[in-house]
Amino acid sequence: MAIFEHPSFDEHESVHSFYDEKTGLKAFVAVHSTHLGPSAGGTRFWSYENSDLALRDVLRLSRGMSYKNAMAGLNLGGGKAVVMKPAGNYDRDALFSKFGEFINSIGGAYYTAEDVGMTTDDMRTIRTQTKFVAGLDEGDAASGDPSPITADGVFRCIKLAANKRGLDLNGATIAVQGLGHVGYTVCRLLHGIGSKLVVTDINKQAVQNAAEEFGAKTVAPDEIYGQMADVFSPCALGAVLNPGTIGQLKASIIAGAANNQLSVPEMGQSLQDKGILYCPDYVVNAGGIINIAGEIEGNYSPEWVEKKLQGVEKTLEQILDLAAETGRTTDTIADEMARARIGR
């Protein structure tokens, strides 16, 4: 499908495709906006069935990064990269070294960092080929793995939304979908304040660990939506809030780390019609990019990150209060705010 006619194309400034026969690298980088500064967003390393799905993902994710960075008050635009995981054996270092060369060829319009499937080791490999990378665990301004800060932001937003609904999280049931670095840490934080957990993941070891460490109830991936829970926290991949899942939900609050949770914008209205308070994903999950932003600017400090996280809480509260006052959906309000900040 042609890029300009692609349903996920949203006035992106540039879209880059990269291929290297020797390493098997197939990758896309999408720069959605540089209105507020150089675009920034993580690289996703995933097994895509075909390149059209990878292109759709990078277009949607990069737009989300523009909104996320703008709503977090960062001097960054929105960009994203996806690398299609090669089938069979491959040399990971060689793959991401070549990817680093491609990132460098963009000339600084895009900074990359960790996302799904990536590690700080991968960032170090990319760093050998380009300076346009963050999420490193070494150097004067290194911020390290951003996932704990993302989880902290998600935890804060769950607490805020619960307070708006008069829900005491001590004893409340939280259904967490996805037990990666972020989702698992969200579980740990919730367990620490007495929440009951229902969890799922395709990683059986992570599920077993959550059951043992947190006393979590474990369910199959397709059973998580229908659980009797107070809060549903999607922390895996996107488009999980769709016509097939929304009807199953019992939770009254949705707040999680996954990007692009709404399969289409109309799902925001469907959630509101069910009386579910939806916390827009790109507001809730901004902790990681906040952490990375300080590294990109070269002045990383925990105090600055804390101030920005408090700003995320204030922004979410503003969105929730305005939605309550006007009857409009939270995602519509957030989108309008974000687009105004990036000049669209």
Q: Where are the alpha helices (DSSP H) in the chain?
A: 51-71, 92-105, 120-127, 147-164, 181-192, 204-214, 243-246, 266-273, 281-284, 287-297, 302-326, 330-341
The β-bridge partners of 218 are 199
Centroid of chain to Cα 249: 21
- Torsion 329-332-335-336 (CA) sign: negative
Cβ–Cβ contacts within 10 Å for residue 324, how many?
12
Residue with tokens 């069979």: 88
Instruction: Return d(Cα 53, Cα 55) in angstroms, integer.
Output: 5
| Cβ 80 vs Cβ 41: under 8 Å | yes
- What is the per-residue burial (b if ≥16 Cβ within 10 Å, else e) of 205-218? ebbebbeeebebbb
Q: Find the largest Cα–Cα distance for the chain.
A: 57
| Cβ 53 vs Cβ 90: under 8 Å | no
**Exposure on the CB side of residue 149, measured as CA atoms within 13 A:** 26
DSSP state of 260: S
- Annotate 173-229 with DSSP letters as a single string: EEEEE--SHHHHHHHHHHHHTT-EEEEE-S-HHHHHHHHHHH--EE--GGGSTTS--
In the residue annotation, 22 being an active-site residue is answered as no
SS3 call for 67: helix
Q: Which one from 22, 26, 68, 80 is the annotated catalytic residue?
A: 80
Active-site residues, by number, are 80
